[in-house]
Amino acid sequence: MPTEHITIPTARGYELAGALELPTGLVRGAALFAHCFTCTKQSKAAVEVTRALARHGIATLRFDFTGLGGSGGDFGRAGFASDVEDLVASAHHLGERFGGKILLVGHSLGGAAVLAAADMIGRDRIAAIATIAAPADVPHVLGNIKGDLAAIEKDGQGEVTIGGRAFHLSREFLAKTRDIDLPSEVGKLKLPILIAHSPTDQIVGIENASALYEAAKHPKSFISLADADHLLTKAEDAHFIADIIAAWGARYLPMKEDWPLPEEGIVACTGHGKFGTEVHTGSHRFIADEPRSYGGDDTGPSPYDLLGAALGTCTAMTMKMYADRKGIPFEGARVAVTHERDHAKDCDHCEEEGTQVQALHRVITLLGDDLTDEQRSKLIEIADKCPVHRTLEGHLHIHTKVAGS
C-alpha cells in the first residue's frame, strides 16, 4: 500500500509532518491516528494500525505532534491543549481531501487527545472513536516524567527525562496538561466508541479503561489486550488490535453509494500505488496487483493469477458438479495452474513458425481413495469441458468501446 508524506499547516505558523496510508483500491472513508506521549508517527502501534485500516479501504493519517519527529514547534511548550489543536488541524485536512465523517484513533495520551478533540473537530464530522491504552486522568502522564516539576513551576522551564529521552518542559506545558476533565468530555460524546486496554499495562492501569467505559454512552465496546504492554512492542499485539479496530471501524464508514456494483460482469477501478486495482462484482470486491518483483506492492493476485484462478476454480466446480450428479465417491480436487509463454518451436499447435503463443499448464490431483480408474478418467475428461476451458480454447473476441459513446 502506498504511503504519502504530507505536511499540515497549523494556526501557530509551523507545519506538522504526516504520513497518509492509502488503500490500494478505492477509499471508503478516512481516519486520523494520534500517537502516544513523546512517540512519533513511526511508532509500532501507529504504523500497524494505520496500515491495517488502509487494507480495509480506510485512508489513515498519522502525524507527529508539535515538536516531535518531523513536526515544527516546541514540544516543551506545547502541552495537551496543543495536541488537541494539532488533531483539529489534521482532521480539517482529512475532511477537505476526502469529505464525509472520519474515524478517530488514539494510542495512550493520543487516545485521550482524540476524546478531548472530538467537540472541537465537530461531532457531526466524526463517525466513531477508538482508543488504545488511553488514560482517563490526563495529568497521569506527569507521573511518567522524571525531573523536578516543582522547579519548573518556579523557574518557568527545566530539563526532564521521559522514556529515557531528554526534553525541556515549560510551566505552560504542565498547566495545559493538567487542565482537562476527560471523563466529563467522554460523557458528552454520544458517538460510537471502542476502548482497548491491557489488564497488565504497567504504565496506564486498566482502571483508566474502566473509568472511560463507565463515562461513555452506548454504543460502546471494550477489547482486552491480554498480555500486551503499553507500547504494543510485540508485533502480534499491534496486529491484533489493528485488525479489530479496522473491522469495527468499517461498520461506521459504510461503502459509498457511488461505488461500482455491476449487475453483471466485473468493474475494475484504478486504485493507489503503481498497479493496485480494485475489482468489483455484483456482490464482492477485492484487490488485484503485481508482485514486488514486477514493481507492484503485492497486495492482491496479479492479472495472470486471476486468469489461472478462473480456469482452476471452474475446473474444480465442474468436476464436483459432475461427481455429485453421478454419485461418484469424489472427495475433491486440487487444481494447480501456471502460465507461460511458449515459442512456436515448443508448441505442437502452432501453424506459423516464429510466432509466440501462451500456454496454461493445469495439474489436477483427484481426492477420493474409492475412485475407480474409469471414474478418474471420466473426471479428467469432464475437466476439459469446463466452461472457462472452452472459452479460453475457443474463438474469443474482445470488443472495446468508450463509455458513453
Least confident of 137-146, 160-169, 200-209: 160-169
Q: Is 12 exposed, middle or buried (0-12, 13-18, 19+ CB in 10 A)?
A: middle
The H-or-E segment that residue 239 falls in is helix 235-252
Q: Does the pLDDT of residue 55 top 60, yes or no? A: yes
Least confident of 129-143, 172-186, 282-296: 172-186
Q: CA-to-CA distance for 129 and 185, rounded, in angstroms?
A: 13
Q: Which three cell numbers stand for residue 337?
A: 495452474
**3-139+177-252 maps to which CATH number?**
3.40.50.1820
Q: CA-to-CA distance for 99 and 403, rounded, in angstroms?
A: 27
Q: Which of 33-37, 196-200, 251-255 has the highest mean pLDDT?
A: 196-200
Strands (E), 94-225: 102-107, 126-132, 145-146, 157-162, 165-170, 193-197, 220-224
Taking the chain, what is the end-to-end CA distance rounded to the nearest angstrom?
A: 34
Delimit the CATH 3.40.50.1820 region(s) of the chain. 3-139+177-252
**303-393 maps to which CATH number?**
3.30.300.20
The whole-number pLDDT of residue 181 equals 78
Q: Is 370 exposed, middle or buried (0-12, 13-18, 19+ CB in 10 A)?
A: exposed
- Confidence band of 262 (pLDDT split at 50, 70, 90): confident
The H-or-E segment that residue 17 falls in is strand 15-21
Of 41, 37, 40, 45, whose CA–CA distance to 3 is shortest?
41
Asked if 32 and 94 touch (Cβ cutoff 8 Å), the reply is yes
Give per-residue pLDDT as tens, 98-126.
Answer: 888 999 999 988 998 899 889 889 989 99
Q: CA-to-CA distance for 176 and 257, rounded, in angstroms?
A: 43
Query: With pLDDT > 90 as the criterion, what percentage of the chain qualifies?
Result: 49
| Residues 6+ away with beta carbon under 8 Å from 38 | 68, 75, 162, 163, 165, 167
94 φ/ψ angles, rounded to the nearest 5 degrees: -65, -40
Delimit the CATH 3.30.300.20 region(s) of the chain. 303-393
Give per-residue pLDDT as tens, 205-228.
Answer: 999 999 999 999 999 999 999 999
Q: Across-strand partners of 20?
A: 4, 61
Asked if 288 and 303 touch (Cβ cutoff 8 Å), the reply is yes
The whole-number pLDDT of residue 233 equals 87
Q: Does the pLDDT of residue 343 top 80, yes or no? A: no
Residue type, 68: L
Question: What SS3 class is residue 359?
Answer: strand
The whole-number pLDDT of residue 170 equals 64
Asked if 53 and 21 touch (Cβ cutoff 8 Å), the reply is yes
Q: What is the biggest distance separating any 2 CA atoms in the chain, rounded to whole angstroms?
A: 94
pTM above 0.85, yes or no: no
